[in-house]
Amino acid sequence: MRQILCILVCVGALFGAQPYKILGLVPFGDWNLKIVFDRDISALKLDEKKLQDGRVFVDIESILIVPKKSFAFKDNSIINVAQNTPQIVRIVIKPTKTYRLHKDAHNLYVRLGGSTPPKPQTPATTESSTLAPTPNLSTKKKIVIDPGHGGKDCGAMGVAKVCEKQIVLEVAKYLQAELKKRGYITYMTRERDTFIDLIERTKFANDKGADLFVSIHANSIPVGRKSPSGIETYFLSTNRSQKALKVAEAENIGDIATMNYFSKQTFLHTINNHRLIASSKLAVDIQAGMVDSVRRKHKNIIDGGVRDGPFWVLAGALMPSVLIEIGYVSHQSEGKLLTTKDYQKLLATGIADGIEDYLDKN
């Protein structure tokens, strides 16, 4: 019996799970590095060691497919990535201030603290001339918040028998209140249960001269299938991955005339590289903000990551824009959680944190 067990162990070692592979090292923004893996890294272990000289070693069981590289950032922080042993890739971080590690589906993000400019202490007003309790450099920034669906369009019906349109409107209202407290100028595409077609949503943002466009939705899968859970953030691209297409298909339903309006050529013309990069940065920051916020009280919330896809509601926006899926209304527990005020406020705070993080760095 022992001989058989030894054989099985050896076979398992030879033919077990393949090592993770690092396919890309992508710096973005002033203080961020994205490390791209060949598959889902939710189970990936990070062996993190802080040294007395301020450096941090992060060892990962993986193979570096691309050449080793060193990155110097705006605040003089440095990140080195290299194959340390045949099985271990070592990330050496020399942060000027703070750093944070954040995982989504296939990517590991190293987010440095940077050097945020000082915030003025003079009071500022929002569009409604209400004094902001904590004024900062955001006072000149205009944010358009877009609660998805509305009116005749219920969106997804969740396990709590509440329409998606109602849930996202509540989160949007909390987000507006939170952003106003921080000194931002905010607009809502809808403030009550009314239907607005997709063209009008981004036209509204363009007419207001918005700096950012944030569309809020909730995810769902058809009845009869086991529902996943988790928070996801999307930005516009022609990406046609299976996951992005499934989510886009659900969110694009509602106005066939609008979809006809955006011919393939028109759709492609709305995307430029600068806006795509800016939207991807915004998506990363909002996703991280939401996950950090909700996990303060709900440790098991899934980080669904950042993805790109063909979302019509974002196609007409002339500014950085994202579509947020705040969770799955079809999930037995998460669907009910999404209807609670406390959780909606956590989501709103996290989105606001992400927006502020993005604007501070960009």
- Cα(60)–Cα(272) distance, rounded to whole angstroms? 35
* Selection from 46-60, 112-126, 253-267 with the highest mean pLDDT: 46-60
What pLDDT score was predicted for residue 50?
92
From 31-45, 110-124, 132-146, the region with the lowest mean pLDDT: 110-124
Last residue of a domain, one of 112, 128, 151: 112
Q: Looking at the structure, tell me whether residues 69 and 215 fall in a common domain.
A: no
Backbone dihedral angles phi then psi of residue 266, each to the nearest 5 degrees: -60, -45
Same domain membership, residue 192 and residue 94: no
Q: How far is CA 68 from the centre of its chain?
A: 27
Same domain assignment for residues 104 and 186: no
Poorest-pLDDT segment among 107-121, 163-177, 244-258, 280-294 = 244-258
pLDDT of 338 reads: 98
In the chain, what percentage of residues exceed pLDDT 90?
A: 52
Instruction: Kindly indicate the confidence band of residue 11, based on its pLDDT and cuts at 50, 70 and 90.
Output: very low
Same-domain pairing of 205 and 101: no
Same domain, 180 and 290: yes
Q: What is the pLDDT of residue 350?
A: 96
Is 345 exposed, middle or buried, given 0-12, 13-18 or 19+ CB atoms closer than 10 A? middle
* Span of 10-14, 55-59, 188-192, 226-230 with lowest mean pLDDT: 10-14
- Average pLDDT of the segment spanning 9-31: 66
Domain hosting 211: range is: 137-361
Give the C-alpha distances (Å, rounded to integers) separating 75 from 67, 69, 112, 161. 24, 18, 9, 49
Domain-embedded: residue 203 = yes
pLDDT at 225: 79
How many other CB atoms are there within 10 angstroms of residue 9's CB atom? 11
3-state secondary structure of 170: helix
pLDDT bracket for residue 272 (50, 70, 90): low
Residue 114: predicted pLDDT = 54
Q: Are residues 305 and 188 in the same domain?
A: yes
Contacts (Cβ under 8 Å, ≥6 apart) of 278: 320, 362
Higher pLDDT, 264 or 271: 271
pLDDT score of 251: 52
Same-domain check for residues 144 and 96: no
Identify which has the larger pLDDT, 181 or 256.
181
Domain count, the chain: 2
pLDDT digits (tens, 9 = 90+) for 167-185: 999 999 999 999 999 999 9
| CATH code of residue 65 | 2.60.40
The angle subtended at Cα 338 by Cα 332 and Cα 342, nearest 5°, is 130
Residues 6+ apart with CB under 8 A from 86: none
Do 284 and 151 have their domain in common?
yes
pLDDT higher than 50, residue 122: no
Q: Is residue 10 part of a domain?
A: no
CATH number, domain of 336, equals: 3.40.630.40
pLDDT at 238: 60
Question: What's the mean pLDDT in 238-244?
Answer: 51
For every residue of 92-119, DSSP letters joined together read EEE-SS-EEEEE-SSEEEEEE---PPPP
Residues 228 and 340 in one domain: yes
Residues 101 and 155 both lie in one domain: no
Q: 318 Cβ partners below 8 Å, 6+ apart?
A: 202, 205, 206, 275
Mean of the per-residue pLDDT values of the chain: 81
Q: Are residues 49 and 187 in the same domain?
A: no
Most confident segment among 6-15, 26-35, 312-321: 312-321
41-45, 195-199, 283-287: range with highest mean pLDDT? 283-287
Dist CA 250 CA 227 (whole Å): 15
pLDDT (mean) for 182-203: 93
Specify if 118 maps to a domain.
Answer: no
Instruction: Kindly report, residue by residue over 40-84, the tens digit of the pLDDT.
Output: 898 899 999 999 888 999 999 999 988 889 888 877 889 999 999
Q: Where are the alpha helices (DSSP H) in the chain?
A: 2-15, 164-181, 198-208, 242-252, 256-261, 264-269, 273-294, 312-315, 334-337, 341-361
